[in-house]
A and B are shown apart, each in its own frame.
Chain A
């Protein structure tokens, strides 16, 4: 198909609607947030327009820095766990008969319909001392007595991985289905065991897909807000929790906005860095 460059202003009309949507639902709110992040807090009411950088300065304390670091670390861990589990799983899934694949995908889609709240409380029950899985372990003789597995970091991680896993699989699935199966067979005829061939051939051939999926899960996990509160201790709370706390309970909009802007900037920087590293390696 030949593509012609748009000539007159009228040729741009199809862009009008998406452009408008982007402005109304992204540019305006985000600009407002940036503006608010420089406003001055008014303890008695809300905030007054101003230009102060106190909000950002306050952010650079050890406490908030720590929370930011923890949030990023958690999101990275969730992304890595999800891809590490989902990639081999999806790969094996694509080797199954069509009908089996459909059943699994439908099942995964139905998990997506669960809200974060339901997932959180389900896992908190599962990890509890009274009704949790440890009771099962006791029953089959693996443990002496049931214990509570929460609130712990592990519980937060498990819940968040569970929540993000269906997305990860659904994103990886199309790429893995399209992968040429003879690549793997070729590696096997050349003397690679199936596992080795998987790591030598499938993983590198899909590197861009894997990087894109990691970024997607990372961003997804960064916004997590409920699960860390349900399944973790306060020190496991993410920046999103603090932002909500500041914005809603402390009525400190400017500070909340500053944190949000900072979070967005840091995420963008990390994503950009990942892409840059990926591009460099590709060029080799």
Chain B
């Protein structure tokens, strides 16, 4: 089978389990983002795939071959470290050519490949520069080129963009994604940043406490989070309590939401609804009545905080659909049932 198969991999440090029986299938050519809070085991998982950390149990299978017993240097992968780990004593060209030099490639071959890669990362003619004299974004690109020198089967990156400023980071996200699509290389990126994951990934893997909580395409993760943790971690969401009332209707904060069905046999659950799906209007009718406590006008979007019986609901609107609200006003909150995701109790 083509692609990467992670088979019930576990890593314990003493009696602390950093990665707990993680299973994941990554088809060939997929861009995966590993997402999760600090300390959830993302780096540990990536390092096990790279062979830099030995799994306590489980197996890693690449294109049908079990690579678990292989040492790092025989795995044919490219890795970009958070610190970039460029060799300070080598020039840009020598850094990129390092893998080729190890394989005993001829000088001409090395030179040709370095030029190819420098063109790929938009830094032509940089081969003779010392790495110390590069800017942050340039160093980033050199690290990427170095990792790709041997056209590896697997491309691993651990928070590669975290050292860059916000603007450059966004540009590099797009660039990295385009590069990956052009090369069609299976790529796994660890990140803290859900926007980054949404920008780049084919498959977002959300981790928490050493486990995979959900692995799905970005829009599905966003629209149909598997649980409250994922819903809360990916973007901003409203987590509201839902109940079946005596008449058998589903209610949120005491107001019936026609068309919202609860799973059979569940009387209480929490419901996630994205702020942009929450509509504000006149109080009364079927809407939930609440009071506006705060309005944040960011220019591009307007966030309105509405308090309903002690629970705060955030609604986001664009200036075009500008809701006519002000702090202290009483408004009606409408939750479209098709946008509500019922999560576990």
Hey, which chain A residues are within 8 Å of B156, CB to CB? Answer: 189
Interface stretch of the complex, out of B79-87, B225-233, B266-274: B79-87
Q: A204's contact among B78, B85, B89, by CB below 8 Å, is which?
A: B89
Q: Mark A180-218, 1 if CB is under 8 A from B, else 0.
A: 101101111111111011001100110100000000000
Hey, which chain B residues are within 8 Å of A185, CB to CB? Answer: 50, 52, 72, 79, 81, 85
Contact yes or no, A191 B99, CB < 8 A: yes
* Nearest CB on A from B194, distance (A): 25
* Nearest CB on B from A277, distance (A): 16
Q: B81's contact among A186, A204, A205, by CB below 8 Å, is which?
A: A186
Contact yes or no, B79 A205, CB < 8 A: no
Contact yes or no, B72 A189, CB < 8 A: yes
Interface stretch of the complex, out of B54-62, B144-152, B162-170, B204-212: B144-152
Q: Is B98 an interface residue (CB 8 A)?
A: yes
Hey, which chain A residues are within 8 Å of B98, CB to CB? Answer: 187, 190, 192, 200
Hey, which chain A residues are within 8 Å of B86, CB to CB? Answer: 186
* Nearest CB on A from B128, distance (A): 11
Hey, which chain A residues are within 8 Å of B285, CB to CB? Answer: none
Contact yes or no, A191 B150, CB < 8 A: yes
* Nearest CB on B from A181, distance (A): 9
Query: Which residues of chain A (252-272) have a CB below 8 Å from chain B?
Result: none
Contact yes or no, A191 B52, CB < 8 A: no
Q: A196's contact among B81, B82, B102, B150, by CB below 8 Å, is which?
A: B102
In the complex, the chain B residue whose C-beta lies closest to that of A196 is B102
Contact yes or no, A190 B99, CB < 8 A: yes
Q: Can you list 18 pairs linking A and B with CB atoms under 8 Å apart?
A: A182-B82, A182-B83, A182-B85, A183-B85, A185-B85, A186-B86, A186-B146, A187-B87, A188-B71, A189-B50, A189-B52, A189-B156, A190-B146, A191-B102, A191-B150, A192-B102, A201-B87, A205-B88
Q: Which residues of B come within 8 Å of A, CB atoms?
A: 50, 52, 71-79, 81-83, 85-89, 98-99, 102-103, 146-147, 149-150, 156
Q: Can you add 4 more A-B contacts, CB < 8 Å, to A180-B83, A191-B73, A191-B150?
A: A180-B85, A188-B72, A189-B73, A190-B146
The 9 closest A-B pairs by CB, nearest first: A186-B85, A190-B99, A189-B79, A182-B85, A188-B72, A204-B89, A191-B102, A182-B81, A188-B73
